[in-house]
């Protein structure tokens, strides 16, 4: 009887470990992070992560086996997506825990933003959207904006920011966001905007955090 319980426990933790194993590789964590911003092809994931297509494909097979992703074929393209939004929440919590426990994460964050960690939070954004004439811009690739974005945001992919500057009055106050706490697009956008004299600030979080907190507009 006690052996029965032991076997059941071993079985159930073996299943839980399927999720854990999928999350044990830095490469797969990055792939999952990218996919939580929207569905993507193998080729797109390869380009974004600078991994070979074969390597991306292998890691995606591992994620498929753990049921964390699903895919559909569109022509020769295999479009992968997360199978559950719970995976996004799990990734966020994992990152929160890593920030809490690992000093190295803090150090790397400072390198991400070269000492200039100043940003506003989602609560601060809400204040400003209600009380000030600010524009919120989403500097991720357009496809990710189209998949999901913070309500009230305009899509200005970082690669197109320069062209968009002409359309903004110089006194316009701007908040820029991208994929979240470990993406540099928003910081780069703020640098660029400030160099043209705009009052710009970075939003710390992205659409995933917005969804979890469910802050209404």
Partner DNA sequence: CCATTATTCAATTGATTTATTGAATTAAAG
Partner DNA sequence: CTTTAATTCAATAAATCAATTGAATAATGG
Instruction: Using CB under 7 A, pick the residue from 31, 33, 37, 62 that binds DNA.
Output: 62
Is residue 41 a contact point for DNA (CB under 7 A)? yes
3-state percent breakdown (helix, strand, coil) of the chain, nearest 5: 55, 15, 30
- In whole angstroms, the minimum distance from the beta carbon of 34 to DNA comes to 14
Counting residues that bind DNA (by CB under 7 A) gives: 27
Q: Which does 111 bind (CB under 5 to 8 A by kind): a second copy, DNA, none?
A: a second copy
DSSP codes of every residue in 167-207: GS-TT-EEEEE-SSTT--HHHHHHHHHHHTT-EEEEBS--H
Q: Which does 59 bind (CB under 5 to 8 A by kind): DNA, a second copy, none?
A: DNA
164 binds a second copy (CB under 8 A): no
Residue 98 in the binding site for a second copy (CB under 8 A): yes
CB within 8 A of 205, min separation 6: which ones?
Answer: 121, 122, 177, 180, 181
168 is a site residue for a second copy (CB under 8 A): no
- Find all residues with CB under 8 Å of 146, minimum gap 6, and list them: 38, 155
CB of 20 or CB of 197, closer to a second copy: 20
Distance CA 200, CA 56 (A): 36
The interface partner of residue 5, options being DNA, a second copy, none and the CB cut-off 5 to 8 Å by kind, is: a second copy
Total of chain residues touching a second copy, rule CB under 8 A: 52
Q: How far apart are CA 217 and CA 214, in angstroms?
A: 9
86: contact with a second copy by CB under 8 A = yes
Residues with a catalytic annotation lie at: 178
């Amino acid at each position: 009887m006690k052996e029965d319980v032991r076997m059941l426990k071993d079985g159930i933790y073996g299943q839980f470990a399927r999720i854990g194993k999928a999350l044990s590789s830095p490469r797969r964590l990055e792939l999952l992070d990218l996919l939580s911003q929207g569905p993507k092809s193998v080729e797109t994931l390869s380009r974004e992560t600078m991994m070979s297509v074969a390597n991306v494909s292998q890691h995606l097979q591992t994620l498929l086996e753990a049921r964390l992703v699903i895919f559909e074929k569109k022509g020769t393209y295999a479009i992968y997506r997360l199978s559950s939004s719970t995976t996004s929440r799990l990734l966020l919590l994992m990152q929160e825990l890593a920030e809490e426990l690992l000093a190295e994460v803090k150090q790397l964050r400072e390198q991400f933003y070269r000492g200039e960690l100043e940003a506003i939070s989602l609560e601060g954004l809400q204040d400003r959207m209600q009380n000030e004439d600010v524009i919120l811009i989403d500097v991720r690739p357009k496809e990710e904006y189209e998949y999901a974005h913070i309500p009230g945001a305009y899509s200005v992919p970082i690669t197109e920011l320069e062209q968009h500057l002409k359309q903004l009055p110089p006194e316009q106050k701007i908040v820029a966001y991208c994929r979240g706490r470990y993406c540099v697009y928003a910081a780069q956008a703020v640098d660029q905007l400030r160099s043209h004299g705009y009052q710009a600030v970075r939003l710390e979080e992205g659409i995933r955090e917005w969804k979890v907190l469910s802050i209404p507009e």
